[in-house]
Amino acid sequence: MRLGCVSGVTVYVHWTWFLLAAMAVELRPAEVTAAVTLVTLMSVFGIVLLHEFGHALACRSVGGRADRIVLWPLGGVAFVQPPARPGALLWSIIAGPLVNLILIPVLTVLLWLSSGNGAGAWHKTRDVLELLWSINLALLVFNMLPVYPLDGGQTLQAILWFMIGRVRSLRVSAVIGLIVGVAAAGLMLFWKQEFWLALIAVFVVMRSWQGLRMAKVMAAAEAMGYEVEER
């Protein structure tokens, strides 16, 4: 579903996101109201959206293409196509987590402002802000894990690109993603029974496999003197 267009970037939300919202409201703890659950969900949605805009606007600032953001229950995807330079990739990727980093002091100040002795709605605001503070930090830490295709993994790829070239940097980071992804999927599915985390791990494996195939295509094309557009 198309939500709107800001600075030439069109934002879409996948229908499964509404399914998640309905599930979260239905399965909320007894002491939490439906309104608080929805406000929290919308705020997380906002944080993810800002993160994706970080990627999209940074990519555009270095002359790349970024015209679409899709939000779905496991997070968001900014479809960015930075120019084939390691510096351009590095900036387009790191700008997302940078938004979460900037949000830490912003949320801290908001939390501090709401820490009066008020009751009722005021108290709920503080609870939601506390939760958002932790979620924002968790998103930052998780995204910066050096596992392809997470932001940390792609940051590693961009740094390696400076040193060992584009194809090998992609190959190394995709192999790391593949190994960690397979291990995490097995662990989450058979040991911890964490379905959502297992799903993320499967996504990591699939994207890493794509990355490896892409590296193969790029290597063949480079051998013939062509340049390949990534993604």
Nearest Cα residue to 132 out of 85, 100, 97, 170: 100
Who contacts 41 (Cβ-Cβ below 8 Å, separation ≥6)? Answer: 20, 21, 24
User: Alpha-carbon distance 42 to 157, whole Å?
Assistant: 32
CB-nearer residue toward Zn ion: 48 or 132: 48
Nearer to Zn ion, 76 or 86 (CB): 76
Smallest gap from residue 96 Cβ to Zn ion (A): 3
The least CB distance from residue 55 to Zn ion, in Å, is: 6
> How many C-beta atoms lie closer than 10 Å to residue 209's C-beta?
14
Identity of the residue, 56 or 198, whose beta carbon is nearer to Zn ion in the bound complex: 56
Stretch in the footprint of Zn ion (CB under 5 A) among 35-43, 95-103, 121-129, 213-221:
95-103
Name the minimum Å distance from CB 212 to Zn ion.
21
Do 13 and 71 touch, CB atoms closer than 8 A?
Answer: yes
> Which residue of 57, 80, 92, 151 would you call a contact of Zn ion, by CB under 5 A?
151
Total H helices, total E strands in the chain: 7, 4
Name the residue among 98, 78, 73, 79 with its Cα closest to residue 200.
73
Residue 96 interacts with Zn ion (CB under 5 A)?
yes
Instruction: Indicate the residue among 151 and 170 with the shorter CB distance to Zn ion.
Output: 151
Could you say whether residue 66 binds Zn ion (CB under 5 A)?
A: no
Give the interface segment with Zn ion, choosing from 24-32, 146-154, 157-165, 178-186 (CB under 5 A): 146-154
Closer to Zn ion by CB, 129 or 150: give it.
Answer: 150
Closest by CA position to 2, among listed 81, 94, 92, 67? 67
- Report the distance separating Cα 231 and Cα 219, nearest Å: 15
Give the interface with Zn ion as residue ranges (CB under 5 A). Answer: 96, 151
